[in-house]
Structure 1
């Protein structure tokens, strides 16, 4: 079983068993998921220091998932290793180098270009890490949905608002859970089997979004989650989960990659719905 396991399957298994892990092992699980592309280069002592645990905890984590030790688990990530290109530094590396090289305050123009660079890095990461299977599953959920509910709070509120706006251009019945007037409970209570909730939430995961997801599951609705990690508390109950790692500059995370993914999701849905209409016309013997 372990011999045939790849990195994606291991991450999925960790996500499925995340709730049963101890607090220490959860910290390690998050680190493994976030650093999977370079894990083969790291020493067990470095990982332990980053997670603020003893090296023996890293060994216990590996054994928890059926490995003899850390080295055997580490080898699983060899195929997903993405070595840094010293001759072609990432935008993030360029931004940090630029900041370190400045003797005084940056101008507004310089800060803007730095932030744009972080956004571009995030988009590059998104393009390389998008899960086609999960994206197809997300589109199919929306195609089959009788009603689509959308929720995102605080930083994700404008993203949720855009998604609801875009979906209004289809024939789907769309409900934006804005919480206006403290009405989250009332806005979500009518969700039922056959409906889909799009829950958009990044760490620290808004309590209102988590509440809406629990209600959706209780009412046997489907859950489409857009989040930052497969270890997200929302991801583990989802029928489809799309993960996004945003670029960061000056301690601010951008929204560029998330809005790009949501726009792509809408376009894929609109295409699929239109394709279904065309196929129905052809079956009925109608021409354009």
Structure 2
């Protein structure tokens, strides 16, 4: 067969072995999780976005998703066909069907931010931009309240209450969340360690982790390698692990005894930390409540004042 006789490769060529599309959005997300490891690199980016932003898909344009995932729109088409759809519109209809009777905070925010960007005739004021940041933060916190996994949260509280030592690791953007959680947990009688990695000493700071300890790892896409390394060390030492991350597709989930998921709102490519901080505060309050039931109480820190 000559080069000109070979069949052309087009974006409409189906991928994968799924003959028909899933019956609902929940089943699609389940399939995405199951098929994730077998997906090409670009499609993995799209799968991660679908998992994290499922409540936004019904209002997203294909160009929006492509930009967020740093892929060509044709990759979105290929992703849709991989899971049995004729194209993106048919897959999007599944999410519209799922969310027809409820408008989520993320959808409201997405519509507001798109209107602000598209309205080029009116320049946004500093106060307008501030309010968009505030709205993004609110959407993340409201979504956390709607999607909090009660069973996973109870399991996380059990892990903290029963641990001998607690090691908390989070780098770069997640460091502030890790430090805040450490500050809260230091109000208990637990031995709390912030794995700061100062001077690159992650491995050294994790060396004393033992089987009855708990490692809390906090990381969001693109998932810090240092945090993943600490989780590997925790597993090697047979310690329990609790991860705070943004997707079931996160590599942290595979190494977690329990995982808590939180998705932040974002404004102009900047993601908030408020929902993550709120989740950590809620975790501490639940732990404090549980400890007060089992011991005499959580004593106040010794004052530095005379």
With normalisation by structure 2, the TM-score equals 0.72
How far residue 228 of structure 1 moved from its aligned partner, in angstroms, is 1.3
Distance 2:120 2:42 in 1: 38
Indicate which of 210, 218, 223 corresponds to 1:192: 210
CA deviation profile, 1:25-84 (whole Å, cap 9, x unmatched): 53453244235346689999x999976438565444x3xxxxxx4489999868853557
| 1:219 matched to 2:234 | no
Aligned to 1:106: 125
- Check whether the contact 1:152–1:201 (CA below 8 A) recurs between aligned residues: yes
Distance 2:210 2:28 in 1: 33
How far residue 118 of structure 1 moved from its aligned partner, in angstroms, is 1.1
Aligned to 1:53: 75
- Check whether the contact 1:11–1:33 (CA below 8 A) recurs between aligned residues: yes
How far residue 256 of structure 1 moved from its aligned partner, in angstroms, is 0.8
How far residue 212 of structure 1 moved from its aligned partner, in angstroms, is 0.6
What is the SS of the residue equivalent to 1:158? Answer: helix
- Check whether the contact 1:28–1:58 (CA below 8 A) recurs between aligned residues: no
- Check whether the contact 1:228–1:245 (CA below 8 A) recurs between aligned residues: yes
Structure 2 unaligned residues grouped into runs of 5+ = 1-22, 297-306
How far residue 218 of structure 1 moved from its aligned partner, in angstroms, is 1.3
What root-mean-square deviation, in Å, do the aligned CA atoms of Structure 1 and Structure 2 show? 3.6
Aligned residues: 266
Structure 1 unaligned residues grouped into runs of 5+ = 63-68, 279-288
Aligned to 1:236: 254
Distance 2:280 2:27 in 1: 25
What is the SS of the residue equivalent to 1:185? Answer: helix
How far residue 91 of structure 1 moved from its aligned partner, in angstroms, is 3.3
